[in-house]
Structure 1
Amino acid sequence: MASLHTEPLITLENIHLTRHGKRLLDDVSLLVMPRQIVTLIGPNGAGKTTLVRVVLGLLQPDGGRVQRAGDLRVGYVPQRFVVPANLPMDVDGFLLLSGAGDARQRQQVLVDNGAGDLVRSPLRALSGGEMQRVLLARAMLRQPDLLVLDEPAQGLDVQGQEAFYALIARLRDTTGCGVLLVSHDLHLVMAATDEVICLERHVCCVGRPEDVGVHPEYRRLFGRDLAGLAVYRHHHDHHHDLHGNIVPDKGPEAAAGGQRDE
């Protein structure tokens, strides 16, 4: 079911948060609209996960304003999920614990996330990429208006990350949800991202990925810029090699302007 919201899903204005005498967030503002993908990037300790917890309502800021759309449904994919080695549960049982959806809906959401054949697989036997797709399926069972993902592709190789981010973009397109995504590599999320917020406890720079990628603050934090990297969006006429480099397609599909799933 597509999201019915047209107003901002989440608005944060001038957020301040201090814990144990340390300023974690300093005058941070953020806005996510329906059908928009906003990506938070920044070095370790920049406050990205802290900001996500404020968005989720798990942390209350010391100052500033947090406003959520009425009846906002949020789906969340954590940074990591450790399955106990002795947990006798399959994927369908794990999805059942979410309390959302019937058996048909659980199967369909797995299919939509490219994990339809995993429904009876033991949870502890899943690979990293399979587990991330199952976690994403569990979040999508809630039919969220806002999907929040904290480093969801951590531990995946370059190709796996690109495929996962392409999946997120497709889910946004088909459901109309907004997406707040935390990532450590702007290059890998450029295809899916509408806006980037570069964070170092405060907002260093904000804008389109191609603009942030050449911003002096981005170069200061990451020691490089993306000026020489192609920016690509949605309809692809290329694939990526093992190093994440763009390689143009030369087959009939590219000539016809078709889309290549990554």
Structure 2
Amino acid sequence: MSLVNVENLSVSYGAKTVLAHVSLAIEPGEIVTIVGPNGSGKTSLLRSIIGAVKPSRGRVTHGPDLRVGYVPQRLHIDPTLPMTVARFLRLPGGVAPAGIDDALTQAGVPDLSTAQMSQLSGGQFQRVLLARALIGKPNLLLLDEATQGLDQPGSAAFYRQIETVRRDTGCAVLMISHELHVVMSASDRVICLNGHVCCEGTPEVVASAPEYRALFGSGTMGALALYRHDHDHAHDHDHRHEHTEAAE
């Protein structure tokens, strides 16, 4: 059974329709990326899936055992507020220390529990947000532009961690990103959105689709191949970068 079914979904804000007749399903264990230009309705779709936006037409149905973990685009924490990572992950309470340790390990930052939130690098901060999303042992992980503000090596390392999370936990992943060549390389399926579903399929199929190229040009196919080459032959370099950042 699908974790999420979106059927003929339309979303409007006043007189403006941002999504029209969108249908898709998220299956257990798959990584799905939604790409599209600014204003294409990506975040509205994600918010509809979690129930934060009410559709003007159509419906969203959830599987009977859906557990969602959400990694936001950004989260502001007052830098003057003293708060360790462990304390942040305990909010709003009820999380055992072992659960915090497990989540940080799954997020790739097992040694950060005593660090101050205000002292984390951008990459470390996003890993902590990922750990928070993993505490509830989700079977669907949602990421909304989760690497915005990170450099390309940091983004690539983050998305490789997402692949590791999927491998180790079996959870499905639905993510939105503007970093086409990075996230498409980490995806089983890509959905190109521009107010409606323009095209969908494997990364290679979507990257060569006329509808996709009309929105993004033809350069991404080369970037996709380059990234995959780098992923195969320079993994150790990025892995070292990731651990260097985690040690900062």
Question: What is the TM-score with the length of structure 2 in the denominator?
Answer: 0.90
**Higher relative helix content:** 2
Q: Which residue of 1, 19, 26 corresponds with 1:32?
A: 26
Query: What pairs up with 1:226-241 in 2 under 5 angstroms?
Result: 226-228=220-222, 229-230=224-225, 237-239=232-234
Q: Which residue of 162, 172, 181 corresponds with 1:168?
A: 162
Cα deviation code 1:94-150 (max 9, x no counterpart):
000054531012012112212122111111111110010000000000100110000
Residue in structure 2 matched with residue 92 of structure 1 by the alignment:
86
Cα deviation code 1:161-205 (max 9, x no counterpart):
111111101111111111110011221113320110111111111
Q: Mind listing any 5+ residue stretches in structure 1 that lack a counterpart?
A: 1-6, 245-258
Closer, same or farther: CA 12–68 of 1 in aligned 2, 3 Å: same
AA matched with 2:99: Q
CA RMSD, 1 decimal: 2.3
SS in structure 1 of the partner of residue 124 of structure 2: helix
Residue in structure 2 matched with residue 133 of structure 1 by the alignment:
127
Residue in structure 2 matched with residue 158 of structure 1 by the alignment:
152
The Cα of 1:71 is off from its aligned counterpart by 2.9
AA matched with 2:218: R
Question: Identity of paired residues, percent?
Answer: 50
Cα deviation code 1:212-243 (max 9, x no counterpart):
1111111111123433342877xx5312799x
Q: Given that residues 185 and 203 in structure 2 are in contact (C-alpha distance below 8 angstroms), is that contact kept between their aligned partners in structure 1? A: no
Closer, same or farther: CA 232–8 of 1 in aligned 2, 3 Å: farther
Residue in structure 2 matched with residue 247 of structure 1 by the alignment:
none
Q: Mind listing any 5+ residue stretches in structure 2 that lack a counterpart?
A: 243-248
AA matched with 1:237: D
Does the alignment pair 1:216 with 2:210? yes
Quote the Cα distance in structure 2 between the aligned partners of 1:169 and 1:55.
22
Residue in structure 1 matched with residue 50 of structure 2 by the alignment:
56
Quote the Cα distance in structure 2 between the aligned partners of 1:159 and 1:129.
10
AA matched with 2:232: D
Quote the Cα distance in structure 1 between the aligned partners of 2:153 and 2:94.
31
Q: Given that residues 184 and 190 in structure 2 are in contact (C-alpha distance below 8 angstroms), is that contact kept between their aligned partners in structure 1? A: no
